[in-house]
Amino acid sequence: MKTYRIAILGCRGRGTAAARAYHAHPRTEIVGLCDLIHERYNALGKELNVSARFTDLDEMIRQTSPDIVAIPTATELHYDLCMRVLEHGVHIEVEKPMCVDLVEADAVIAKAEDKGVQVAVHHQGRVGAAMQAIANAYNAGKIGNLRYIYGSGKGYYGGYGLMNIGTHMLNNMLHFGRSCKSVVAHLTTGGKPITPEDVVPSPSGMGTIAGEYITATMQFEDNVTGTLLQHRFGKMDTNAYTMELFGTEGRLFWKLGGAYYLPTPHYLPDGNNDKWESLALIYPDHYNPKSSADEMDYWFVEDYVNALDEGRPHVCSGDEGRHVIEMMMGIFESAAYGKRVDLPQTDRTHPLLRWREESGLPSPAEMPRGYGEWLNLEKKRIS
């Protein structure tokens, strides 16, 4: 069976994680590393025994002829790098969020279709061992018909949390809701509904955002509804990053590294906490837990290999990644204009920038890229 050739574009944290997964998988071979900082690609190249190291991505692609180029770079670089790599006619996987708005996402998908190649977005939680267990139980009918999906972030500032970790949660919700038909959202900053003055640039280069606290309701297929909370906490809490599926006959609960089943649709808090049953996590047969590869990243690679073998899109396809951006832009648009937003949107421009421009305001002033410094400045503005 074919061994797929992989090139890594960007050797920081997420690039290192992706490279370790591709290195560990028996049917992928890393043929090139690219980064502008020599120390980064040298360290990763030494760890994974990859000698082909570049500072020019076009030269890397020409010399190594990869099947897939991984683009785990800063978000503001995704669009330009995706378009540049796709010009070579190779499959790509790009770190989430795919792009910062729908205009960019549409262009990336169109370019991939023109070149006849795949786009996958690195929503690794959707294919990880815990989600595999949840999906297996769901497909077996353990909770009956799905009624409602609940998802929460980790406590980042709402708009930033939406563009950052919210992309994962929305993609997880799509796994079961299949597609989102409409969105209604309420966003507040400083305890009041957002105004055009509350539209700000996101930290970490994730586009334009608004809302310290986000509560969004989604309408999925077959009368399934969902709620997404992206509320700022005083201190970030990874344990809050959860998803729950409510069915007619039971419930399923997902968290990082855990999957649980409740064999009744209604849980009474009577102190008997052992009613939730742990589900056995599901790993690929050839995954070695002693390797440096994270199991979710490894599962992502496994699905890409299988997708290319079978001629189908990755579970975390570019179309799914774009649909996530439609949902996020719908959330911003609903709060800005005070209405339900049907998806997909006709106007693909960023709704917050459109709202601000219609209010006679210029583009938001620049803010620090680092989240801590950004948050301190934003808290001063709010107060």
Categorize the per-residue pLDDT at 324 as very low, low, confident or very high, splitting at 50, 70 and 90. Answer: very high
Note the pTM of the prediction, 2 decimals: 0.95
Categorize the per-residue pLDDT at 351 as very low, low, confident or very high, splitting at 50, 70 and 90. Answer: very high
pLDDT, residue 373, reads 97
Q: Tell me the pLDDT of the chain averaged across its residues.
A: 96
Tell me how far apart the alpha carbons of residues 293 and 23 are, in angstroms, rounded to a whole number: 8
217 CB-near residues (< 8 Å, 6+ apart): 183, 184, 185, 225, 226, 227
Is pLDDT above 90 for 332?
Answer: yes
What the block records as the tokens of 82 is 């995706």
pLDDT digits 0-9 by tens, 187-222: 999 999 999 999 999 999 999 999 999 999 999 999
pLDDT digits 0-9 by tens, 8-60: 999 999 999 999 999 999 999 999 999 999 999 999 999 999 999 999 999 99
pLDDT digits 0-9 by tens, 167-196: 999 999 999 999 999 999 999 999 999 999
Closest CA to 375 of 195, 194, 158: 158
Instruction: Decide which of 263 and 268 is more confident.
Output: 263
Q: Which domains does the chain have, with CATH numbers?
A: 4-126+293-316 (3.40.50.720), 127-285+317-383 (3.30.360.10)
Give mean pLDDT, residues 307-317.
97
Categorize the per-residue pLDDT at 1 as very low, low, confident or very high, splitting at 50, 70 and 90. Answer: confident
Question: Do residues 140 and 267 touch, judged by C-beta distance below 8 A?
Answer: no
pLDDT digits 0-9 by tens, 72-96: 999 999 999 999 999 999 999 999 9
353 CB-near residues (< 8 Å, 6+ apart): 199, 208, 363
Coil, helix or strand at residue 300: helix
DSSP secondary structure letters along 3-54: PEEEEEE--SHHHHHHHHHHHHSTTEEEEEEE-SSHHHHHHHHHHHT---EE
Categorize the per-residue pLDDT at 69 as very low, low, confident or very high, splitting at 50, 70 and 90. Answer: very high
